């Protein structure tokens, strides 16, 4: 199949492109390669797939030097006409939208970046799907949409009307926009609520990267909420395996959906929401312990108050995902953190 994957210079998108290519699909990647974090890391991810970002230009679709089934275009999804025309011209079978302005804390500083990328950009994708008759749109949402909800584990059919940061609000907007297009135009859409993704090639603004880097430098790590946090950490390989199975299995209308008693996880339209998490929350201090063990170094710690927009606990109910694709994320923290540390040492040549 011919699959568009947005965000392929990013963490999850790079891993997903590799997996889909191994499956024998034709993959076209799109990414703006912005400077939210180290662009050198993004360039390196692209080089892994034979893409030289130096050759990118407006409207230029680059061919991989290592895999003829992979091509890449540098573009901003919010450039509406360019994206829609590109999608219509290419005629994709499936679309996976992972491109977004990520990060809860950054949304406090640069709110307009989030509406630009996550709302305007997503509208371009929806319009491109509408006009090119895409068989299935899979898009990244986030566990952050659960916001102030403390009813654990988080289930997709429960209300998510109280976000704690603009980032979460834009992702909730994506879910609502997708439902509108599923209802109006019959586009099958699946929203994926990711729970704290980590692993090799991970983002430098995430805790695992920050902690590993600081420990190896002999610097203290910042432990928020004085370590009293639980996170449903999910290994990137499990995220990718879930998407691989979902993307080629378009969702349909839920025959049991009742408009008199509506739930938000499905619909009379071809629309679904899935949690993707490990379903096994880990205390933050245990997570730090796994990093210390993998590095063989005890971390210096500075205990701090909770940051605005953060939540003390996340816990995914993934029964809907398991029932639909017969897969349950289960990589242990010890294994996943160990693989990240191995990659980090190799990539940066440190310790």
pLDDT in tens, 158-198: 999 999 999 999 999 999 999 999 999 999 999 999 999 99
The DSSP call for residue 29 is E
Confirm whether 167 is a catalytic residue: yes
pLDDT band of residue 134 (cuts 50, 70, 90) is very high
Mean pLDDT score of the chain: 95
Predicted confidence at residue 351, as pLDDT, reads 62
Predicted confidence at residue 342, as pLDDT, reads 97
Average pLDDT estimate for 254-258: 96
Q: Which residues contact 74 (CB under 8 A, 6 or more apart)?
A: 30, 31, 32, 33, 53, 56, 57, 60
Tens digits of residue pLDDT in 43-56: 999 999 999 999 99
CB atoms under 10 Å from CB of 40, counted, come to 8
Lowest-pLDDT choice from 100-104, 151-155, 297-301: 100-104
Tens digits of residue pLDDT in 322-339: 999 999 999 999 999 999
Average pLDDT estimate for 277-292: 96
The percentage of residues in the chain with a pLDDT greater than 70, rounded to a whole number, is: 100
The percentage of residues in the chain with a pLDDT greater than 90, rounded to a whole number, is: 92
The DSSP call for residue 1 is -
Place of tokens 């929806």: 126
d(CA 177, CA 76): 19
The whole-model pTM stands at: 0.96
Could you tell me the residue ranges of all domains in the chain?
Answer: 2-195+235-278+316-329
Predicted confidence at residue 331, as pLDDT, reads 97
Structure tokens at 59: 């409207």
CB 282 within 8 A of CB 227: no
The H or E element spanning position 18 is helix 11-22
Instruction: Identify which of 14, 76, 103 has the alpha carbon closest to the alpha carbon of residue 307.
Output: 103
Q: Which residues contact 200 (CB under 8 A, 6 or more apart)?
A: 236, 339, 340, 342, 343, 344
Tens digits of residue pLDDT in 65-118: 999 999 999 999 999 999 999 999 999 999 999 999 988 778 888 999 999 999
CB 31 within 8 A of CB 8: yes
- Residue 248 sits at the vertex; the CA angle it makes with 154 and 60, to the nearest 5 degrees, is 105
Structure tokens at 45: 């991810």
CB 83 within 8 A of CB 75: yes
Residue 254 has pLDDT above 70, yes or no: yes
Domain 2-195+235-278+316-329 has CATH 3.40.50.720: yes
Predicted confidence at residue 215, as pLDDT, reads 96
Instruction: Point out the catalytic residue in the list 167, 181, 235, 287.
Output: 167
Predicted confidence at residue 58, as pLDDT, reads 86
Predicted confidence at residue 311, as pLDDT, reads 81
d(CA 122, CA 119): 5
Lowest-pLDDT choice from 101-115, 127-141, 205-219, 250-264: 101-115
Helix, strand or coil, per DSSP, at residue 204 = coil
């Amino acid at each position: 199949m011919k699959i568009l994957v947005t965000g392929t210079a990013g963490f999850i998108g790079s891993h997903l492109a590799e997996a889909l290519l191994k499956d024998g699909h034709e993959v076209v990647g799109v990414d703006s390669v912005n400077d939210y974090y180290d662009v050198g890391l993004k360039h390196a991810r692209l080089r892994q797939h034979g893409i030289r970002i130096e050759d990118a230009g407006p409207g230029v679709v680059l061919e991989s030097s290592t895999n003829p089934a992979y091509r890449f275009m540098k573009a901003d999804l919010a450039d509406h006409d360019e994206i829609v025309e590109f999608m219509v011209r290419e005629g994709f079978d499936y679309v996976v939208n992972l491109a977004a302005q990520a990060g809860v804390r950054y949304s406090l500083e640069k709110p307009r970046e989030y509406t630009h990328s996550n709302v305007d950009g997503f509208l371009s994708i929806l319009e491109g799907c509408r006009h090119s008759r895409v068989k299935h749109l899979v898009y990244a949402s986030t566990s952050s949409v659960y916001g102030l909800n403390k009813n654990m584990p988080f289930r997709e059919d429960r209300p998510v009307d109280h976000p704690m940061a603009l980032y979460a609000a834009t992702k909730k907007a994506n879910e609502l926009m997708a439902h509108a297009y599923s209802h109006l135009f019959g586009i099958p859409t699946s929203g994926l609520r990711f729970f704290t993704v980590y692993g090799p090639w991970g983002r430098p603004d995430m805790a695992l990267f920050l902690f590993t880097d600081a420990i190896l430098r002999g610097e203290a790590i910042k432990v928020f909420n004085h370590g009293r946090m639980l996170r449903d950490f999910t290994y990137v390989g499990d995220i990718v395996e879930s998407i691989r199975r979902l993307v080629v299995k378009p969702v349909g209308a839920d025959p049991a959906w009742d408009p008199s008693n509506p739930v938000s996880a499905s619909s009379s339209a071809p629309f679904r929401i899935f949690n993707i998490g490990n379903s096994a929350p880990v205390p933050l201090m245990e997570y730090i312990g796994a990093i210390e063990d993998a590095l063989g170094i005890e971390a210096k710690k500075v205990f701090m108050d909770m940051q605005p927009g953060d939540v003390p606990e996340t816990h995914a109910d993934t029964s809907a995902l398991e029932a639909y694709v017969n897969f349950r994320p289960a990589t242990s923290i010890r294994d996943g953190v160990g693989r990240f540390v191995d990659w980090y040492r190799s990539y940066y040549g440190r310790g």
